[in-house]
A and B are shown apart, each in its own frame.
Chain A
Amino acid sequence: MSDSTSTTSSVDAIAGSIATEARSRMLEVSGLSAWYGEARVLDDVSIDVAPGEVVTLVGRNGAGKTTLLRSVMGLHRQTEGTITLDGADLAKRSPDARARAGVGWVPDDRGIYSSLTVAENLLLPPVVHADAWPLEKVYEFFPVLHERREFPGTKLSGGEQQMLAMARVLRMGSRLLLLDEPSEGLAPVIVQRIGEIIREIKSHGVAVLLVEQNVKFASTVADRHYLLAQGKVVEHLGNDDFRAREGELLTYLGM
């Protein structure tokens, strides 16, 4: 991975082989750079996610994974490059306009409101797409949210809050989910459940862009993986390659 020439060729090779499948693209990020003041934190990043596809961003802390998600959401504004969703240009739009265009935000702190009940947390965002899950379906799929619907959102356990954060954007009808470390700090059995939910989401044709440090978990849900280092995409791997190189990746990530 430290050898940059082999890295570039492997990226090209995989990009080429995958491109021949002529995937339709839900999210397409092209030539994206981002700064914090003078510091460049993303450098000419190009990634894409197709409908019904789960794609992860893997990398060490500070590699730019969360900044990439925030840039797609429009929360990080110091950027250059193009971001399109289903062909529509997002780059100039405000975060709320992007959300209404179909981008679903599931932040790493889950983003549950303590001053809103569980039901209100679900009902806050506007419904933006015809495929949005009706509230009954959300409750059927997440019975615990129905049981606790009158509780303040933050009275839920960490795992339940994660489910609420994901349920919230499904109720909204988002076409692309931005999931920032959904498995972080959760018990293995809950992580497994989160995995099931992601597969369910995928089966509905929703695109998922997932930031994940947990390589094992990532390999159970994702189709493709982008490895980020110092703000650049250094590897682009199909899931089989990713699994084959799991040990190497774990070492690289320092885990």
Chain B
Amino acid sequence: MSEFIQYTLQGLAAGGFYALSALGLAVIFGVLGVVNFSHGACYMLGAVISAVLLGELHVGFWVALVVVPILMFAFGVLMERLLVRWLLALDPLYNFLLTFGLTLVLVEAVKQRYGVSGLPYEVPAGLGGQVTVGSVNLSTYAIFACLFSVVVCVAVGLLLTKTRIGMIVRASTEAPERTRALGINVGRWVTPVFGFGIALAGLAGVLAAPTRAITAEMGSNFIIILFAVVVIGGLGSILGAVVAGFLVGLVEAYGIAYAPTYAQIVIFVLMALVVLVRPSGLFGREEVA
């Protein structure tokens, strides 16, 4: 039983990384119609920048938690302004290819600069030990990562449901053309939303840094699972991205614990089952012809 609770916590912590990143992917897809293949690379950058801040500048985890998302927001703004924007009018496939290419560039650049062996990172002071609840020992950092992800997801949820900006983002996500016809300059929100989505991926990277091997390739597997999360949750659904993120984290953790050989397959079996029963995902809107 205590093992099961530990696996559950590990799953929820990993799920938090997926949920944050998928949330970013969902808002970008919603407002721009862009499937950002480089989301995994942005998650990797978040972790790598944290490691570099610590290793070269002795800037610790707590500062990174604030600074890295801001840097990634700026990176996202540049990416949208310099690259993504010019392809928006074309078939969405062009931006998918662009961000795929960008992924290769980012991964190779990190490899060139920092090698392939991985960068060291420590669990921040104060979160290193374990907490004993009853007879179960739980990793303090996993509890922190999990709670922090939930808090950020709830905060983003409130931003989307309770503010005028959120209302505009939801409306643009649902029907961009109609929203323009109702007097909203949707284009004005495109750059900040893109930056915001990238910042969320970067934030997931910072949170993952103390618990993952920080390598140039860490985003490659991540993005594949992230797409499974988005399909399970329903493309374009904010709530779906979060719920499916935590769900996939759990399923993956149980898979690794109880069926290690099949751990990777389990997620995609889950995805296939969801798509069979609900083609538009758990929270996706039914396609209306």
Chain A residues proximal to chain B, CB less than 8 Å: 73-75, 94-96, 99-100, 105, 107, 111, 113-116, 120, 123-126, 128, 168-169, 172
**Does B175 sit at the interface, judged by CB under 8 A?**
yes
A37 to chain B, nearest CB (A): 16
Cβ B174 vs Cβ A124 within 8 A: no
How distant is the Cα of A75 from the Cα of B178 in the complex, in angstroms? 9
23 contacts between A and B (CB under 8 A): A73-B181, A94-B180, A95-B180, A95-B181, A96-B182, A105-B181, A105-B182, A107-B181, A111-B181, A113-B174, A113-B175, A114-B174, A114-B285, A115-B173, A116-B167, A116-B170, A124-B184, A125-B182, A125-B183, A125-B184, A126-B184, A169-B182, A172-B182
Residues of B within 8 A of A172 (CB): 182-183
**Does B213 sit at the interface, judged by CB under 8 A?**
no
Closest to B285 in A: A114
Interface of B is mostly: helix
How distant is the Cα of A100 from the Cα of B188 in the complex, in angstroms? 15
Residues of B within 8 A of A125 (CB): 182-184
Chain B interface extent, by class: 10 to 19
Cβ A123 vs Cβ B167 within 8 A: yes
Extra pairs beyond A100-B183, A116-B167 (19, CB < 8 Å): A94-B185, A96-B180, A96-B182, A96-B183, A96-B184, A96-B185, A99-B183, A105-B182, A107-B178, A111-B181, A113-B171, A114-B174, A120-B167, A124-B168, A124-B179, A125-B182, A125-B184, A128-B183, A168-B182
Question: Given A111-B178, A113-B175, is A126 in contact with B170 using a C-beta cutoff of 8 Å?
Answer: no
Residues of A within 8 A of B74 (CB): none
Residues of A within 8 A of B175 (CB): 111, 113
Chain B residues proximal to chain A, CB less than 8 Å: 167-168, 170-171, 173-175, 177-186, 285
Cβ B182 vs Cβ A99 within 8 A: yes
- Tally of A-B Cβ pairs under 8 angstroms: 63
Question: Given A96-B186, A125-B183, is A115 in contact with B178 using a C-beta cutoff of 8 Å?
Answer: no
Question: Given A75-B177, A105-B178, A107-B178, is A113 in contact with B184 using a C-beta cutoff of 8 Å?
Answer: no
Nearest first, the 7 closest Cβ-Cβ pairs linking A and B are A99-B183, A105-B181, A125-B182, A95-B180, A115-B170, A96-B180, A125-B183
Closest to A94 in B: B180
Residues of A within 8 A of B173 (CB): 115
Residues of B within 8 A of A105 (CB): 178, 181-182
Closest to A173 in B: B183
Cβ B181 vs Cβ A99 within 8 A: yes
How distant is the Cα of A114 from the Cα of B167 in the complex, in angstroms? 12
How distant is the Cα of A141 from the Cα of B173 in the complex, in angstroms? 30
Cβ B183 vs Cβ A116 within 8 A: no
Residues of A within 8 A of B186 (CB): 96
How distant is the Cα of A107 from the Cα of B181 in the complex, in angstroms? 10
How distant is the Cα of A115 from the Cα of B182 in the complex, in angstroms? 16
Residues of A within 8 A of B179 (CB): 124
B178 to chain A, nearest CB (A): 5
